[in-house]
């Protein structure tokens, strides 16, 4: 069984009047990537800031490798690397100057600093930019420098708050690949409001909404739990809506464009086989059929319905 590296117990936080998170509990296992998914304002940054000792919680406890972050922040922070939503970069410094500064901030002994820089830069693929001023790097490379500062002291846990925000599609793929690499020998918590980010990167997922956890399990369990319930059907022959709704398992059919329909179903995704067979039998000349992926809002709606049934 995997060891736990972080324990978040009954964590709540209130900014002046309003609660941002309420009674959140979860554990982070050693190695692998945990995705913290939630829409804007759900409470992700608040959770991460408390976890990393940036702000103090109103209630509850956070333990990193058994160390209480609130009671012993200096020791706990030695085990954590943090890349906040806005990377703490000093744009006027070169990569080496900046990372050296970070190494001093992390109390790395002077004789180990060069090696720490070399390891972090090699891991993040930025060794060739050592002398480059940060403001002259692309957004993707600046983010790599942000990740390098988070691993400079070789922490057991790395916390990344929306690490691919603002990057172009190629940079997103590269940063995701880098995150997977750094998670090979430590735990990573990654926060995002993008479901596909978690699906592409994470082993486990925690979904948070209005400051509460609404789902916590493996990615595999999540994908089984959240099944699509609509599909798009494109036909060369246009049947009546009533004929589509007569297919067993179809609860509703909508005409989207001239020959494109959205079908809602209450069976599993194998409904597509029934539809393909019906199209053949009725000569509707099937051009295309595909399941629709649920949006984050749709998933929250599905989750709250399922949770209400439990």
Ligand X SMILES: Nc1ncnc2c1ncn2[C@@H]1O[C@H](COP(=O)(O)OP(=O)(O)OP(=O)(O)O)[C@@H](O)[C@H]1O
The binding site for ligand X (CB under 6 A) comprises 15, 20, 38, 40-46, 193
Residue with Cβ nearer ligand X (43 or 140) = 43
CB of 191 to ligand X, least distance (A): 7
Of 190, 192, 116, nearest to 158 by C-alpha is: 190
Residue with Cβ nearer ligand X (163 or 239) = 163
Residue with Cβ nearer ligand X (39 or 154) = 39
Residue with Cβ nearer ligand X (53 or 239) = 53
Residue matched to tokens 């940063």: 175
CB of 59 to ligand X, least distance (A): 15
Residue with Cβ nearer ligand X (15 or 225) = 15
Phi, psi of 107 (to 5 degrees): 60, 35
CB of 16 to ligand X, least distance (A): 6
Residue with Cβ nearer ligand X (44 or 176) = 44
Residue with Cβ nearer ligand X (39 or 260) = 39
Which DSSP string do the residues of the chain spell out, in sequence order?
-PPEEEEEEEEEEEETTEEEEEEEEEEEESSEEEEEE--TTSSHHHHHHHHTTSS--SEEEEEETTEETTTSHHHHHHTEEEE-SS----TTSBHHHHHHHHHHHTT--HHHHHHHHHHHHHHHT-GGGTTSBGGGS-HHHHHHHHHHHHHTT--SEEEEESTTTT--HHHHHHHHHHHHHHTTSSEEEEEES-HHHHHHH-SEEEEEETTEEEEEEEHHHHHHHS---EEEEEESS---HHHHHTSTTEEEEEE-SSSEEEEEESS-TTHHHHHHHHHHHHT--EEEEEEPPPPHHHHHHHHHHHHHH-
CB of 213 to ligand X, least distance (A): 12
CB of 19 to ligand X, least distance (A): 8
CB of 45 to ligand X, least distance (A): 3
CB of 69 to ligand X, least distance (A): 17
């Amino acid at each position: 069984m995997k060891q736990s590296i972080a324990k978040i117990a009954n964590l709540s936080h209130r900014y002046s009047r309003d609660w941002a998170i309420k009674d959140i509990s979860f554990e982070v296992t050693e190695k692998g990537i945990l995705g913290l998914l939630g829409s804007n304002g759900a409470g992700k940054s608040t959770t991460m800031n408390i976890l990393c000792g940036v702000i103090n919680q109103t209630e509850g406890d956070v333990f990193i490798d058994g160390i209480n972050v609130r009671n012993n922040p200096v020791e706990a922070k030695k085990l954590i690397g943090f890349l906040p939503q806005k990377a703490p970069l000093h744009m006027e410094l070169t990569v080496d100057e900046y990372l050296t500064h970070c190494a001093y901030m992390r109390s790395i002994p002077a004789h180990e600093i060069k090696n720490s820089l070399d390891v972090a830069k090699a891991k993040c693929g930025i060794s060739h930019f050592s002398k480059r001023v940060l403001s002259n790097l692309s957004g993707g490379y600046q983010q790599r420098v942000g990740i390098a500062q988070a691993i400079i002291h070789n922490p057991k846990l790395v916390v990344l708050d929306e690490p691919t925000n603002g990057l172009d599609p190629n940079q997103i793929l590269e940063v995701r690949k880098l995150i997977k690499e750094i998670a090979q020998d430590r735990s990573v918590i990654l926060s995002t409001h993008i479901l596909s980010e978690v699906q592409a990167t994470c082993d486990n997922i925690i979904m948070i909404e209005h400051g509460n956890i609404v789902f916590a399990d493996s990615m595999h369990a999540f994908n089984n739990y959240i099944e699509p319930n609509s599909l798009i059907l494109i036909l060369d022959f246009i049947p009546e809506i009533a004929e589509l709704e007569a297919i067993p398992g179809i609860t509703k059919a909508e005409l989207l464009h001239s020959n494109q329909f959205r079908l809602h179903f209450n069976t599993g995704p194998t409904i597509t086989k029934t539809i393909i067979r019906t199209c053949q039998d009725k000569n509707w000349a099937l051009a295309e059929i595909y399941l629709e992926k649920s949006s984050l809002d749709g998933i929250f709606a599905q989750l709250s319905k399922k949770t209400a049934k439990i």
